[in-house]
């Protein structure tokens, strides 16, 4: 199942690859499926690099969060919010 923000489904991605392997141009595939040519190119490239697994949905979560609040500070904030029953504006 595609995630909420996905432009295409796994089925549509497979269809792009099948049509490409059948000799269709990327521009024609894009036109027929209502997506951009770079989108078709991206999925064909992922298929070449990773096979069928490359067509599956991926997480959009960042690999790192360098500016994330320290967990100790986060725990203090959560405790204070529960204690005071107030929001961020009050606690700031």
pTM over the 0.85 mark: no
Give helix 37-50 / helix 10-21 axis angle, nearest 10°: 80
SS3 of 75, please? helix
- The domains of the chain are located at 10-55
Q: Calculate the average pLDDT of the chain.
A: 90
Could you tell me the sign of the dihedral formed by the alpha carbons of 22, 23, 25, 26, in that order?
A: positive
Confidence of residue 19 (pLDDT cuts 50, 70, 90): very high
Q: What is the pLDDT of residues 31-75, one digit of tens each?
A: 999 999 999 999 999 999 999 999 998 888 888 989 989 999 999
Residue 58: its pLDDT value, please? 84
Residue 2: its pLDDT value, please? 58
């Amino acid at each position: 199942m595609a995630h909420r923000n996905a432009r295409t489904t796994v089925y549509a991605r497979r269809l792009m690859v099948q049509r490409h392997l059948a000799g269709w141009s990327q521009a024609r595939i894009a036109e027929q499926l209502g997506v951009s040519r770079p989108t078709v190119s991206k999925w064909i490239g992922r298929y070449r690099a990773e096979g069928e697994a490359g067509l599956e949905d991926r997480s959009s979560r960042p690999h790192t969060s360098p500016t994330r609040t320290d967990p100790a500070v986060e725990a203090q904030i959560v405790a204070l919010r529960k204690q005071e029953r107030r929001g961020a504006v009050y606690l700031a």
